[in-house]
Amino acid sequence: MELIQQLVNGISLGSIYALIALGYTMVYGIVRLINFAHGDVFMVGAFVGFYAITGLHLGFFPALLLAMVVCALLGVFIERIAYKPLRNATRIAVLITAIGVSLLIEYGMIYARGAQPVAYPGTILPDKKIELFGVTISSQSILILCTSIVLMILLQLIVHKTKIGKAMRAVSYDAEAARLMGINVDNTISATFAIGSALAGAAGVIFGIYYIKIEPLMGIIPGLKAFVAAVLGGIGIIPGAMVGGLVLGVIESLVSGLGYSLWRDGVAFIVLILILIFRPSGLFGKNVKEKV
């Protein structure tokens, strides 16, 4: 029963990683850029949700939507100001810019409000305990998991059923050919940043409700772990990011359940090393040999 309990905890945690990882993998799939500022967009989402709940007295879902809108706008702003001028620059220049944007957001938030952590109010969602097959599951965990799954399904519908989704897939496959076919590549890239950042903002609010405490540097470790999840699933592949996040969350929870909670952060990076050695293209990616 303890194993099932840890699996439930791992899936809830993994759904948060999956939402953040989707932003990494979408952006990489289109512009071949690892957006290291993505974890800090997640942090901004957590704070927007916190102030929406405590200052504007909004409920969970309105606060979630507001955080998604603000983070979508922030994502587009970052793309237009920091990344668009470097579209044809070297990879290292873009990478350094991404790290710079990350630090700017982190320490800009510290300058604006201080470094002290704050706690999400515990009453925002009902937290009833549900006994299921001998396992105690909180209603909060179920709601968080359901919200994450709905957002992932919406993303799949957007990517596969809408005009902007088709444009995103076309640009991902061949940006120059897409431009020749009349697709506005710049707007498509901005839309990708908006959608990925909105999901990160939603993950920030969900994280705040799940873990209570938030602070300006909170995006570093979840951001890196989400990057590991994206690599694990196959970076640039949307279903891979979802599965990678869930697998990583379950692995972390199982490690904690076995009594090695101090290793839970280290395990994510051990997984990254093993994936890069044995399956660099990820679980869902094709091997180089297969492509040839």
pLDDT confidence bin for 280, thresholds 50/70/90: confident
Strand partners, 131: 136
- Sequence-distant (6+) residues with CB within 8 A of 187 are none
Alpha helices, H only, 32-121: 38-54, 60-78, 91-113
Give the global pTM: 0.89
Domain segments of the chain: what residues? Answer: 16-218
Which of 29, 32, 15, 34 has the alpha carbon at shortest distance from 237?
A: 29
- pLDDT score for 191: 93
Given the structure tokens 């512009």, which residue do they identify?
31
Q: What is the per-residue pLDDT across 82-134, written as a single tens digit (0 to 9) for each?
A: 999 988 888 889 989 999 999 999 999 999 988 899 999 877 777 777 776 66
DSSP 218: T
Q: What is the per-residue pLDDT across 26-44, written as a single tens digit (0 to 9) for each?
A: 888 888 888 889 999 999 9
Q: What is the per-residue pLDDT across 131-179, written as a single tens digit (0 to 9) for each?
A: 766 677 777 788 888 888 888 889 989 988 899 999 999 998 888 899 9
pLDDT confidence bin for 196, thresholds 50/70/90: very high
Strand partners, 129: 138
Do 249 and 17 contact (CB within 8 A), yes or no? yes
Q: How far apart are CA 38 and CA 276, in angstroms?
A: 22
